[in-house]
Each structure stands twice: as structure tokens, then as C-alpha cells.
Amino acid sequence: MGIEATLETLERDPVFDIDVAKFKSKDGSVIFTLELPKDLVKLKKGSRVQLDLGEESDGDLVMKGVVYKVDDGEKRIEISFHGLWLRMSYKKNPFELEEGKEVYLVMKFLK
């Protein structure tokens, strides 16, 4: 299922050789930032994506990581993909994740 989101910003990290992409869900209830290797994806402001966190499946970008934090009190999720981070804040948790479990990020670029 996943969530549909729009790329709000794509910036180069001033210290590390990575890009930091900030997305907002279509309904505004989920905001997430995703660290990516520099120039890995060719997205620009306004690009739309479908993001899912769960089992491995086909997508334009697929990354395997470990759920580091699920905090429903602070309404935050953090996942590490071999040192690259996904940090998500939400009004209602869109994914069923457990800390310490492996998870796949599957992102499809929408037209």
C-alpha cells in the first residue's frame, strides 16, 4: 500500500557526500527525510513518489535497512540503511514496524 508523497527539497549535505531529500505525503500527515548517495536519483522539487516500508518488492529504489526507532509518543520512525537514514514524523503511523527488525524501503517514481 504505502504512501504517496511529493519531494519538497533535495539538498546536498554540507559535511557528507550525500543528498538529503525531504518529502511530504499527499494528505500532509507524514513528513520524511531520506539520505541518499549523491546523485543516485534524478528527482526534482515537485516529483511524486510512492513509498512503502515492509517486504522486498519491485521499485525504482529499493534499500534494505534496520528499524532503529518507533516512537508513537513522539510520532517518529527512524530507519538506518547502512548509515543512511530515513527519519519520518507522522500524525498516524502508516506502517507496522518493530525496532530491531529488517525492513525494505521500496520507492516508485510516479509520473
CATH number at residue 86: 2.40.50.140
**pLDDT value, residue 37:** 94
Give the whole-angstrom CA distance, residue 107 versus residue 7.
Answer: 12
**pLDDT value, residue 22:** 98
Query: Does 1 score more than 80 pLDDT?
Result: no
The per-residue pLDDT for range 6-63, each reduced to its tens digit, is 999 999 999 999 999 999 999 999 999 999 999 898 899 999 999 999 999 999 999 9
**pLDDT value, residue 111:** 85
- Measuring CA to CA, how many Å separate 43 from each of 21, 31, 33, 47, 81? 9, 17, 14, 6, 20
**pLDDT value, residue 42:** 87
2: alpha, beta or left? (left if phi > 0; alpha if psi -120 to 50): left
Helices (H) and strands (E) in the chain, counts: 0, 8
Average pLDDT score over residue span 105-109: 97
The per-residue pLDDT for range 61-83, each reduced to its tens digit, is 999 999 999 999 999 999 999 99
105: cell is: 524501503
- Number of structural domains (the chain) is 1
Enclosing domain of residue 53 = 3-110
